[in-house]
Amino acid sequence: MQLAGILSALLLATQTFALVRRGAPVDAPNALTCAFLIDFEQGVDGHALLNQHLAGKGVQWTERTSINNKFANFVSVQLVGDCQDADAIFAGLPRASSFSVVTSRPAPQPVISSADVGQPISDEAYHSITGVNDARNKLGLTGKGITVAIIDSGIYYLHPALGGGIGKGFKVLGGYDLVGDDYSAANPVPVPDDDPIDNCSGNSHGTHVAGIVAADARNIVEPGFEPAVPFTGVAYEANLLAFRVFGCPADNTGTDIVTAAIYRAADAGADIINLSLGGGPDYADEPDTIAATIVGKYGHIVLASAGNSGAKGLQVTGNPSNAQGGLSVASFDNTVTPLPYSLIDEQSYFYGLGQNNASFVEGQVLDIVVNDITADDTDLQTDGATNINPAAKGKALLLRWGSTTQGGSSKRCGYALAAGAAQCILYGNTDELVGIAGNKGLPSMFLSRAGGLALIAKIKAGGKPNFVFTTKQKPYPIPTAGTISSFSSPGLSLDLEIKPDFGGLGGQVYSTVSVHAAQVENYAVPYGSYSGTSMASPYSAGVTALLLQQRQARGIKFEEVRGYLQNTASPRHIYKSESVNSVAYQGAGLVNAFFAASTKSLVLPSAIALNDTENFKPSTVLTIQNNDVEPVTYELSYLSAATVNGYLAGDDFTQDATTTTFTEDQRAELSFSVNSLTIAAGASAQVTVQFTEGTALTPLPIYSGYIQISASNQADYPIHVPYAGVLGSYKSKTIWSRESASLLSRWGVPTGLPSVSTGLFADMDFNTLTEGAVINATTGAGLLAVASSTTRGAFIEIIAQGVSKRSSSLEAAGFNTSAPIYIQLTDLIGEGNPVTAALFVPMQRHSYAGAAPAAPPNVWGFFGKAYNASGYAAALPQGEYKVKFTAVKNFCILDSKNEDDFDIILSPKFKLSTNEVEPSSSASSSASSVAATTSTASSASSVATTGSSASTGTAVATGSVATGSAVTGTSTATVSSVVSDPSASTSGVPSASASVAPTSVPVIIASPTYAAPPAPATPKPTNLYKSGAVSTVASAFAAFAGFAMML
């Protein structure tokens, strides 16, 4: 068989009707059941064509949403009944160009302050780092005359800081509700109307986003709406449009809804469109991503949040921010954030409360006992882990924070509880505030180092400190100010394009919320601080509004807007490092409104993707445009950024943020055709830049840097053009993981697996499959399909051995032997052991822990079933088989005819037996021993340090793939929780509750029980991973991965 037309029925046009199918399969994990978006030629009546066509097919349908304007013409439909064979349903549809499955965008999950903000950041502190204050004070820019569309959960436009109304004469000019109040994951039925108000969602995400762009909370006199300190949004005189795509539950929307909102916003005249939603890692081929590029060509600038998956490592930016014609926005930490403080001898000191018990009372006076008065003098790292002061009984015990190797906050406060302490207070061993779990049994607190030393000094002096607990807040200088937020999703894109494009402020941004959300969050007034790239994107949208106001150019092109923003952004250093951060993390850097609006020069292209070594682009021609009224001299140089090492030698699994390293090697060298030139007023000139790659010292490192162009008319800031590339062959990077010691130790051993290599195993104990072994379909065999990289598509099929004989028996059993026969997989960890077809389009890469995106691998079982010609799971006849794992390689397409474009693993030949057997005691015993490893994750993690066991299959360079119709399927991701304090899961420590929730374990005949692994001890954060930099009491810098509403 030939590879031509692989997965053609799933994704591509039939030759007869040329109706292209894009995106996910019908049964994709995030697919809305029987919901499809059909694109039509411009000018035709899609409704009439659909009605006639589907009536002829005998298919009932209802409309979800539709668009017919100069940008697009599509109808999104909900089919009634069986829709598995969508290709047949839509085949022959006149004047249709493509169709795609509607996929969902999950719930918004704001990173919200845990208490009402008593003293928010002033404009002076808040807007200085981004040049917004200078743009106002020196250029008079406020966003006036610019319209920004907010595609989100709606806007509570009755808020006086947002104008108090909607329509002509108000800040919010109008908009549309595309879904209605009741739209949700459980009820994905749009009921649109003309009122986009949101006073019913729990976090008022859209209202918060709107306020970041254009709120004006000065001079507010309406009772209940006065902020503690007046503030303004970035472009406070801009107008807004509200397009509501989430209902009151705000837990789900569809890509068709978001796509329609983008086209509606552009048609309504929005200059800028903000989308603080999405998820990754993704390829830029979904309808909303395509829509962003289309409207961008018409001058409607789309900005979208890059994502909050920074903890997962490289290449996790999401859609729609990956759009080639849109702007992906990273998050930088703010300069200050409001945090609570308590009084020690009438002096204020910051603190953060333990997550497990925060039961302190306003005005409570704490009676302090120091556990070890010399702990700070001797740099004691284990204070409270090995020693407890017997005087702690009934007191607030003060402990010095330090190394967690012998116990973190849960363990230390647990010992304090056992000693009878009334409260547990940990003070810092550095100047950074750390988020702690604490212990459920007693109130726990992390106190600033200054506060702890003040208590100790008073006691050493023979006095008794007066410690008064308060919940009042004041601005706290953030140590990581102006550096990339740890949650911000890094690039590059999956095709090695430069994403994110740049960044805005996203950590602890104070803004408006609805009255309802204020009640839900227990705010005294409807304002709150949220964190995430969802905040960075509207901040950058506000900056873009100031830029457009200054340029006064309605016909300005997308490339020019991106150019001004990237040319004038400020590349930032890695936290606590002299190295400039990678372009993969910050794009061009932190936006600067004043620089972008005032520069008299423009350099294009404004970013340079150098690709990998095999596709290296050694030269680029820069066009420098002088828009000044006098000649300008330009000096060219370059600034290398840190190289990002996302892979370990001999380990094919993508590292996460804790083990990704940054080095000052493997860099490119640059030279210029001229190093200096003078360009006449209003003229332009070209300069050729030559790039020379460095030598790779690690697998597939990402090198990057910035071309610096100093202009004689703007001495304060140079122009920057970011560049980035990958050393090595990106296409040759394996998709299926074959060898990963890191995955084995961090996920495999805690899960109870002896191997983490992709392949079919001999049994449910995951023993290695050998040539000619027997697999019993009743007892089953383990299977792992571990994605070390994201791919456009992957599947696992059964290959019969002895073709002529086997074909007849397979066909007699109802299987189509002229097409791939996809096996059925059983999830051994998921509740209820759900089954799925072994077909994943696309397939996101896996990670060590946490929720989707980039969740840990599934633990699968194979029980001798596959999908027949009718699309149903059926038992395979007895006989000899191999299992074939196929994945599309990087840079390659699904319908490639080149066998080298697929990563293939072929299992050893085995005999499938369908004889039923009684469960054996030995199997049960083995199962128990394997499952027992899940309770000793911390000790087991040191067992496997040399590498994973041998792969259960053999990798082949080439292979044939059958053509034909595909059976679609879904994958249920395994979720492991992660705690910020490694001690939170430590056993053997006193707690208020001794009960432990039982683990739900699937029952599989004669097979081990596998459980999602406990949260492993997280390696010490390095470089960008600043999980301990700021107190999590305000949830300021928690990484919330996988949420569609990117905060």
Q: Is 39 noted as a catalytic residue in this protein?
A: no
Of 759, 791, 723, 1047, which is closest to residue 885 (Cα–Cα)?
Answer: 759
**DSSP string computed for 641-709:** PPEEE-SBTTB-SPP-TTT-EEES-S--EEEES-SEEEE-TT-EEEEEEEEE----SSSS-EEEEEEEE
Is residue 46 classed exposed, middle or buried when 0-12, 13-18 and 19+ CB atoms within 10 A define those classes?
Answer: buried
Tokens 């049964």 -> residue: 27
**DSSP string computed for 270-335:** -SEEEE---BSS--S-SHHHHHHHHHHHTT-EEEEE--S-GGG-SS---BTTT-TTSEEEEEE--S
Tokens 């109307």 -> residue: 193
Residue 245 CB neighbours (<10 A): 32
Residue 568 CB neighbours (<10 A): 30
3-state percent helix, strand, coil for the chain, nearest multiple of 5: 20, 25, 55
Cβ-Cβ contacts under 8 Å for 88 (sequence gap 6 or more): none
Pull the structure tokens for residue 979. 């705690």
CA separation for the pair 867, 853 (Å, rounded)? 27
In Å, how far are 61, 65, 184 from 77, measured between CA atoms?
A: 6, 7, 17
Q: Is 152 noted as a catalytic residue in this protein?
A: yes
Phi then psi for residue 353, to 5 deg, are -90, 150
The angle at the Cα of 367, spanning 364 to 373, to the nearest 5 degrees, equals 140
CA separation for the pair 306, 287 (Å, rounded)? 17
In Å, how far are 435, 851, 934 from 977, measured between CA atoms?
A: 16, 7, 14
Cβ-Cβ contacts under 8 Å for 986 (sequence gap 6 or more): 407, 408, 410, 411, 938
Q: Assess contact for 974 and 399: CB atoms under 8 A.
A: no
CA separation for the pair 433, 446 (Å, rounded)? 7
Of 367, 379, 372, 389, which is closest to residue 456 (Cα–Cα)?
Answer: 372
Q: Is 534 noted as a catalytic residue in this protein?
A: yes
Q: Assess contact for 154 and 162: CB atoms under 8 A.
A: no
Q: Assess contact for 448 and 1033: CB atoms under 8 A.
A: no
Angle between helices 205-214 and 533-551 (to 10 degrees): 30
Q: Which of 127, 159, 205, 300 is catalytic?
A: 205
**H helical segments located in 403-473:** 409-418, 449-460
**CA within 13 Å, CB half, 995:** 2
Residue 142 CB neighbours (<10 A): 21
Catalytic residues: 152, 205, 534
